[in-house]
Amino acid sequence: MRILIVEDEPNLSRQLRQTLEQAGYAVDSAMDGEEGQYLGETEQYDAVILDLGLPEVDGLTVLDRWRKAGRKMPVLVLTARDSWSDKVAGLDAGADDYLAKPFQSEELIARLRALIRRASGNASAELVAGDVRMDTRSGRVTLNGEPVKLTAQEYKLLSYLLHHKGKVVSRTELIEHIYDQDFDRDSNTIEVFITRIRKKLGAELITTIRGLGYSLED
- Residue 19 is predicted with a pLDDT of 94
Over residues 72-86, mean pLDDT: 82
Whether the Cβ atoms of residue 124 and residue 118 lie closer than 8 Å to each other = no
User: What's the domain range around 44?
Assistant: 2-119
Cis geometry, peptide bond prior to residue 74 (ω within 30 degrees of 0) = no
What tens digit of pLDDT does each residue of 26-44 get?
999 999 999 999 999 999 9
Q: Please, which residues bridge with residue 61 across strands? A: none
- Residue 168 is predicted with a pLDDT of 95
Query: What DSSP string describes 128-182?
Result: EETTEEEETTTTEEEETTEE----HHHHHHHHHHHHTTTSEE-HHHHHHHHS-TT
Instruction: Say yes or no: 172 and 202 in one domain.
Output: yes
What tens digit of pLDDT does each residue of 138-164 get?
899 999 999 999 998 999 999 999 999
- Residue 184 is predicted with a pLDDT of 65
Q: Please, which residues bridge with residue 133 across strands? A: 128, 142
Instruction: Say yes or no: 17 and 111 in one domain.
Output: yes
- Residue 183 is predicted with a pLDDT of 67
Instruction: Say yes or no: 132 and 107 in one domain.
Output: no
Any idea what the CATH number is for the domain that residue 181 is in? 1.10.10.10
Q: Among 119, 148, 164, which residue terminates a domain?
A: 119
Instruction: Say yes or no: 130 and 99 in one domain.
Output: no
- Residue 87 is predicted with a pLDDT of 77
Instruction: Say yes or no: 106 and 135 in one domain.
Output: no
Count of domains for the chain: 2
Q: Among 119, 154, 185, which residue terminates a domain?
A: 119
Instruction: Say yes or no: 75 and 131 in one domain.
Output: no
What tens digit of pLDDT does each residue of 55-78 get?
999 999 999 999 999 999 999 998
**Average pLDDT value for the chain:** 91
